[in-house]
Amino acid sequence: MTEQERASTRHTASAAAGEPPRAPQRPHERTHHGHTVSDPYAWMRDREDPELIAYLHAENAYADARTAHLAPLREQLFQEIKSRVQESDLSVPVGDGPWWYYARTIEGQQYAVHARCPRTGPDAPRPVLEPGAIPEGEQILLDGNAAAAGHDFFSVGALAVSTDHRLVVAGVDTEGDERFALTVTEVATGTILDHEITGVGYGAEFDNSGRYLFYVAVDDAWRPYQVWRHEVGTPRADDVLIYQEDDERFWLGLGGSRDDSHLIIGLGTKTTSEAWILPADDPTGTWRCVRERVEGVEYDIEIAGETILIVHNIRNREGDLAWTELADPSEWRPIATSLPGERFLGVDAFDDFAVLTLRADGLPTLRVLPRDAATESGFGEPQAWPVDGELTAVYLADNPEMATREVVVTEESYIHPRASYAVSPLDGTRTLLKRQPVLGDFDPANYAESREWVSAADGARIPVSIVRRADVGQDGSAPGLLNGYGAYEISSDPYFSVARLSLLDRGLVYAVAHVRGGGEMGRGWYDEGKLAAKPNTFGDFVAVADALRGGWVDPDRLACEGGSAGGLLIGAALNLAPDRFRFAHAAVPFVDALTSMLDPDLPLTAGEWEEWGNPLADPAAYDTMAGYAPYDNVQATEYPAILATTSLHDTRVLVTEPAKWVARLRELATNDPQTRPILLHTEMSAGHGGRSGRYDAWREVAWEWSVLLDQLGLADGSLPAVHDS
């Protein structure tokens, strides 16, 4: 037996006996800016190390042993989720040329079937089908269940149809590392024409002839940095490099214009962007830059005939809308500017109008600009989009056709399922196309949602979303779960969750802290929670926790959760205020942030310096991160019960980070493992998003929430009397 096999046997036997695993320590020190730090778990950096794999298996065995008594509750939660879902269902069909495109799910199958059926004309009514029915004349683009056969993981990173609707390219990942294999198929016959391209990034686009396919390559650090042109059916060795981005701060993406006239390469850092365009009829032609990058200038383009619409931040950090000429985009002329409380995000152009996407008063919404020949730009003033509900999020759905009199828009909130409407922007009429079905006795009137405000230590007013059963009062007796993220200008917007109903129906108050570092309140909100101001994010979260405790929530039964950068938030908040929480769930948590930002060879690091600072080169950035990085600040104190969940193949946050964090918590925390366990659970065949199949994902949620409910004293499985008020 090898030493690694002995270690695995030793670890697993210890876990099975109910003893928390103890990770081996190996001497390691790092020195930066005069600071020498001991890191005895640095050896975990190699995620292929047999000792690390053995440790992860031991942690899984321990987590299984410590939660074995929750098996009935897990099954109950899974069945509750499953019973509310219409398992055979069809998405809203999207019209594009002679076809309706849609995805459908089949009861008992994990993945969606992406397909299309004939459309008799631009005014043909959308097909309306009973659940489980197959549209007449259906052609399959990608059957996820067939493609996933034999694999523990499956996800789609590209799905694009050629302009003539003859070909489809699908990008598939079966490892979880977000590297995709592309397959080109003739849709009508199902004949595979090309499977040469593997190990690439998100996105792929055909030229207008369908002869060429453009795709994105990633570097060793998983940064999308190249665009290649591939002739369908030829060896990959003959592919032509179109663009390479050498500035390691920039990522690139690939897309096409709605009118099929151009292919578009978008490049960006956290603060700077650049766009290149190519006529889709001229695939071997020369790409043209819309405007060369200027540090700190961000812009997003939409091609509308001979005009380009642009959302940019040249004069206003919250965004302006401008236009320029496609033939000569050098002069940008104003159309509209964001008002106080607004943040312009992007624009979509159609033949008779444009739709501006923005944030207003902390929520995503839309504005309509009618075509107006009397104006220089050809568009009139933005008109407000009517919205019902205090916490309703409004989005423009997939609308691929320029020549349309109506667009599909989706609306949802925490308690109202997603609804899709066909809206005529010029007269405001709208028709409900589909509302997400929720089976059983669900009634939105039995639940309540509201927006509250909490003052942070520096006086900033933090928005908080509160979701609860309607009969749960603000008397400080309810269990609660506080969610947060707070990074990258990503907003935690209202969304409906069937699974969340299992928590609400047990009387739990669900709260979202819209802390600084996110984008809820605009670019300024983001700027106040990044770089040197990053500690604001953590202080905001603790301030919200303090406001909830004794207000909505029993002070002894408040839990918290966050994932990825939100996992960093959870780890930092626990170090700041471990006594505020009874339980914490950190999902794929970025908890060893300082170590990662010191290593530019890791995925994402160099591009992240504009978010967190560069501690490798900047002593002040080092000191700031050293002051909050969760792994570096674990204390010898009692923490809440903790569940860290991660995946072996995660590219964004390596499994190393939560593994090291849990090892250090085990070393220093004074927790009683019987009442406040510290658990690590690793999906051994998944990536950053966890398990990929929908039934597997529901079981994963049920497992996590059974631990949460157990720690909040709700593990007996019974549902309290509900909806009495």
Instruction: Provide the percentage of residues in the chain whose pLDDT is more than 90.
Output: 87
**Active-site annotation holder among 688, 692, 706, 710:** 688
CATH number of 300-437: 2.130.10.120
Cα separation, 290 vs 66, in Å, equals: 58
Query: What is the pLDDT at residue 604?
Result: 79
Query: What is the pLDDT at residue 129?
Result: 77
pLDDT in tens, 478-493: 999 999 999 999 999 9
Interacting residues of 148 by C-beta distance below 8 A, sequence separation 6+ = 110, 111, 154, 174, 692, 693
Q: How many CA atoms lie within 13 A of 291 on its CB side?
A: 22
What kind of fold does domain 3-82+441-711 have according to CATH? Rossmann fold (3.40.50)
458, two tokens: 């520096």
**Is 650 tagged catalytic?**
yes
**Is 564 tagged catalytic?**
yes
CB 262, CB 278: distance < 8 Å: yes
Query: What is the pLDDT at residue 13?
Result: 46
**Active-site annotation holder among 194, 320, 650, 710:** 650
Interacting residues of 6 by C-beta distance below 8 A, sequence separation 6+ = none
Buried/exposed code over 93-119 (b: 16+ C-beta within 10 A; e: otherwise): bbbbbebbbbbbbbeebbbbbbbbbeb
Query: What is the pLDDT at residue 619?
Result: 97
pLDDT in tens, 241-278: 999 999 999 999 999 999 999 999 999 999 999 999 99
pLDDT confidence of 384, banded at 50, 70, 90?
confident
pLDDT confidence of 720, banded at 50, 70, 90?
low
pLDDT in tens, 294-347: 999 999 999 999 999 999 999 999 999 999 999 999 999 999 999 999 999 999
Query: Can you give the residue ranges of every domain in the chain?
Result: 3-82+441-711, 300-437
pLDDT in tens, 507-518: 999 999 999 999
> What is the CA angle 688-691-694, rounded to 5?
130
Judge whether residue 12 has pLDDT over 80. no
Query: What is the pLDDT at residue 385?
Result: 86
Cβ burial, residue 406 (10 Å; 0-12/13-18/19+): middle
pLDDT in tens, 427-464: 889 999 999 999 999 999 999 999 999 999 999 999 99
User: pTM to 2 decimals?
Assistant: 0.94
**Active-site annotation holder among 261, 420, 564, 706:** 564
Terminal alpha carbon distance of the chain: 65
